[in-house]
Every structure is written in structure tokens, then in C-alpha cells.
């Protein structure tokens, strides 16, 4: 089974005769025909007992996400354990072991937890996201908290924001009122593309469930902030990089990863305009700046139609 996110292919191979793999829900959009020669990350998948997983999770904790996963150091490998207080009595339901460059590894699943499943998605969130973000963090790109929208000319604008900034609300307006294609309403990946950068949708959507496996050249970055009226200000220098870091998936468990990610963000800001966009997200200025559709007269309830 193979899925592709941001032109990175993850190949998952069952090592058990009684372990069938499948992609769930929206993640199916990112599935591609299995081609081992094109895989960037290769993971074997196997069963393990709850005791075996619990013993692996006894390795020294290098980073605790405070959520579903922890990173453990085990020799020259990175070991991620996933656990929830409502699953398996709080013991790990899966453990993923990676080599240090995140090109290969193995996923071990708690057999008892999955015993009633006809098929399994072995890298259920957050493990799938961890596969890609750690691979990208080694100088290959970065993931950001953002809504990504593509205009009629194929250029992408990325609207960055913390939780509650209005990414999903804006995504809905940009699609319905401005005619833009929405790559994601919550998480976008940025990668180099020649002398510029390209952005991609991801399976890790927000409340609007916008998630497309497409990409587009990056034209502009906007930092969303709630405000009473429309204000736009360009950000530059140290202030810009500091703001961008607050909405970037920083690999804080890896000194090398942090250094490479900061360098990557600096490269983006060298060529891509970055603005602070303050708005209540319900104003005509939003539509006038980003619409690819004809605007209705002021005060009209008419919906725009495509040119």
C-alpha cells in the first residue's frame, strides 16, 4: 500500500499473512499505485504483543508531545510510541521504529487492539503525519498550520494561523465567494521547486474537511489575525521569521531538524512576500483581493458566478 503526500511516497508493506492494510476516509485521495522503486519512505508492518510494545516504550523518552505520541531514543534509531488513556489501558497500541534519516523502518501493531479489524491503517494519525514531517525536516521541506488556496492562474496563497485564527472560515469563503480551489483548511506542506517553492494539500484537514492531493507554485504568504477591520502589512526580517516559526511544525526533538527548518523558512522569505492579514473574515476587502469571480454590487446578496 502506498500513499503520496507533497510528492513524498510512503510504502507500507505487511509482513504478516493475516494483516491486511487499507487507507481510510479522506486519506484514500492520497493513495497511489504501489511502486516500490518510487517510494521515498519504506515501512514494514507487523503484529506485536502488548507486552512487547510496552517494553519498547520503556526506552528513554527524548520528547513527549503531551498528546498521543512520545519519541524514544533506542541506539541509532528513532522510536515513536502511540498511546491513549482510552485504548489498551493506556499502553501503546502501536510503535514505529525509524532509521535516523527516516527513509525506512517498521511499524508494530498491538494485535489485541486490532483483533476485530478486517483491515488496518497501520500509520493512523498521528503516526502518518510524523512519518512525513520528520522526513521533510531534514532539509526536504516543512509543514505549516495553514489554509492553502489556488487561484484561476494556478498560483497558491497560503494563509497561516494558529488554532482559532479562522483558517476554515476563510477556506469556505475563498471557495464559495472567490472561486479558489482549497488544498487544505488546516495543514499545508511547502517544498522547494527550482528557484521557488511549491505548496501541497495534506490528509490532515480541519473542520471543513478540505484535503486535496494537489500542489501549486507558492505566490504569497499571509498570517491570519482576527481584527475589527481589514488591515494588511508586509512582514520582513527577524519579525517575519519569528512569526513564521509560530505556525510551523518545528521538529523540537531534533537540533539538526530545527536548524534545517529555520534555514528553509529563511529561504522561503527571501523570495516569497509575507503579510500580516488582520480581518474579521467577513468583509468585501477579502473578496476584492482574492476573488477570481466577478463581484456582486455592494449590498447585494447575489452569489458570484464563474467567468
Q: CATH: 3.10.590, 3.30.450, 2.60.40, 3.40.50. Which one for 142-290?
A: 3.40.50
Cβ contact 4:34 at 8 Å = no
Name the pLDDT band for 292 (thresholds 50, 70, 90): low
**How many residues does this entry show for the chain?**
307
pLDDT at 251: 92
Q: Where along the chain do its domains lie? A: 2-136, 142-290
How far apart (Å, rounded) are the C-alpha atoms in residues 306 and 256? Answer: 47
How far apart (Å, rounded) are the C-alpha atoms in residues 249 and 131? Answer: 13
Residue 105 DSSP SS3: strand
**Residues 138-152: tens digit of each pLDDT:** 999 999 999 999 999
Q: What does the pLDDT average to over 212-235?
A: 93
Q: Between β-strands 187-193 and 215-226, what pairing exists: parallel, antiparallel or unpaired?
A: unpaired
**Residues 190-214: tens digit of each pLDDT:** 999 988 999 999 999 999 999 999 9
**Residues 43-78: tens digit of each pLDDT:** 999 999 999 999 999 999 999 999 999 999 888 899
The neighbouring-strand residues paired with 275 are 222, 234
Amino acid at each position: 500500500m502506498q500513499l503520496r503526500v507533497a510528492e513524498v511516497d510512503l510504502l507500507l508493506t505487511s509482513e504478516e499473512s493475516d494483516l491486511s492494510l487499507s487507507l481510510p476516509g479522506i486519506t484514500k485521495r492520497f493513495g497511489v499505485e504501489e511502486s516500490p522503486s518510487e517510494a521515498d519512505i519504506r515501512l514494514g508492518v507487523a503484529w506485536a504483543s502488548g507486552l512487547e510494545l510496552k517494553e519498547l516504550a520503556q526506552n528513554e523518552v527524548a520528547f513527549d508531545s503531551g498528546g498521543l505520541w512520545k519519541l524514544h531514543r533506542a541506539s541509532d534509531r528513532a522510536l515513536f510510541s502511540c498511546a491513549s488513556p482510552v485504548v489498551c489501558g493506556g499502553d501503546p497500541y502501536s510503535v514505529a521504529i525509524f532509521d535516523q534519516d527516516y527513509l525506512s523502518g517498521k511499524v508494530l501493531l498491538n494485535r489485541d487492539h486490532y483483533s476485530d479489524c478486517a483491515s488496518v491503517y497501520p500509520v493512523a494519525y498521528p503516526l502518518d503525519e510524523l512519518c512525513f514531517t520528520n522526513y521533510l525536516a531534514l532539509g526536504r521541506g516543512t509543514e505549516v498550520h495553514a489554509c492553502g488556496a489556488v487561484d484561476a492562474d494556478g498560483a497558491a496563497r497560503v494563509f497561516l494561523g494558529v488554532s482559532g485564527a479562522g483558517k476554515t472560515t476563510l477556506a469556505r469563503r475563498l471557495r464559495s465567494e472567490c472561486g479558489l480551489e482549497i488544498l487544505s483548511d488546516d495543514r499545508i506542506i511547502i517544498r522547494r521547486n527550482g528557484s521557488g517553492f511549491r505548496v501541497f494539500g495534506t490528509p490532515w484537514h480541519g473542520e471543513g474537511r478540505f484535503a486535496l492531493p494537489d500542489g501549486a507554485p507558492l505566490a504569497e504568504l499571509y498570517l491570519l489575525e482576527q481584527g475589527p477591520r481589514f488591515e494588511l502589512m508586509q512582514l520582513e526580517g527577524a519579525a517575519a521569521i519569528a512569526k513564521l516559526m509560530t505556525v510551523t511544525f518545528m521538529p523540537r526533538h531534533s537540533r539538526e531538524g530545527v536548524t534545517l527548518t529555520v534555514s528553509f523558512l529563511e529561504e522561503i522569505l527571501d523570495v516569497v512576500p509575507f503579510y500580516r492579514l488582520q480581518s474579521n473574515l467577513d468583509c468585501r476587502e477579502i473578496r476584492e483581493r482574492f476573488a477570481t469571480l466577478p463581484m456582486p454590487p455592494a449590498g447585494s446578496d447575489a452569489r458570484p458566478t464563474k467567468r
